[in-house]
Amino acid sequence: MNSTLNIVVFSGAGMSAESGIETFRDSNGLWENYAIEEVATPQAWQRDPDLVTEFYNQRRKTIIEATPNQAHEGVVQLEEFGDVLVITQNIDDLHERAGSKNVLHLHGNIRQSKSSGPNQEKAYYPIDGWKLDNNSRCPEGYRLRPHVVWFGEDVPCYEKAALKLHDADILIVIGTSLQVYPAAGLIQYASNAHTKYIIDPKADELHVPSDFIKLNSTASQGIANVIKSMRK
């Protein structure tokens, strides 16, 4: 019987707020003053791929200039207690830059691009620096787009995430308003977890089952408290 603890961290934009990256909710549904329809949908790409590419180039620049915060580092420290898998809605790579090895990006990774042709999920291409060029093409000749899951698109690793959550012994939900579906629905798969935390300054306002331990705090403070309680 494998006795290693399976710890799953399910994170959202609030995880990176202390790194200076704006969350979605805290900017009134605008993303850096752009309406989602303008920049984060397949229709926006069809309409104006240059605008969409430039939008994510600026996001990528901000993310490259940012650094992981104490919450990201706290998630790495959790490896002291068992196997840690990070399932994140974030498109930034701050979990990896903090040192987390197992990170599943539900909504893609802004540091990569993919084909805008029919075989989009076949390959992801690392982007050198912050700028994805408008003329960059995949081997089949289709324009490269940011490796981001846009609103209205499927979440390719949904099943994989659901299976991992099903095996979780401990679930720690951090910095997500749980309003973006289908990702938000994934936490229900953690039915075998004996301990579930939600960390958010507005945790009391968020809709989670009653068996969650609610920590109304920032990501960094909340993860520090969880680590303290696990060391007892």
Ligand X SMILES: NC(=O)c1ccc[n+]([C@@H]2O[C@H](COP(=O)([O-])OP(=O)(O)OC[C@H]3O[C@@H](n4cnc5c(N)ncnc54)[C@H](O)[C@@H]3O)[C@@H](O)[C@H]2O)c1
Residue 18 contacts ligand X per CB under 6 A: yes
Closer residue to ligand X, CB minimum distance, 138 or 175:
175
Helix (H) or strand (E) holding 34: none
- The footprint of ligand X on this chain (CB under 6 A) covers a number of residues equal to 27
Active site residue 107: yes
Stretch that binds ligand X, among 112-120, 135-143, 153-161, 170-178 (CB under 6 A): 170-178
Task: Say how many C-beta atoms besides its own lie within 10 A of residue 8's C-beta.
Answer: 28
Q: In what order do the strands lie in the sheet with 103-105?
A: 103-105, 83-88, 6-11, 170-174, 195-199, 212-215
What's the one-letter identity of residue 70?
Answer: Q
Minimum CB separation from ligand X for residue 212, in Å? 14
| Nearest-approach distance from CB 192 to ligand X, in angstroms | 24
DSSP 107-158: TEEEEEEEESSTTGGG-EEE-SSSPPPTT-B-TTSPBEEEEE--TTS--TTH
User: Residue 145 and residue 51: Cα distance in Å, rounded?
Assistant: 11
- Nearest approach, Cβ of 91 to ligand X (angstroms)? 4
Binding flags for ligand X, 181-200, as an x/- string (CB under 6 A): ------------------xx
Catalytic residue among 72, 107, 147, 166, which? 107
The residues of the shown chain that bind ligand X, judged by CB under 6 A, are 12-14, 16-18, 21, 23-26, 89-92, 107, 175-177, 179-180, 199-202, 218-219
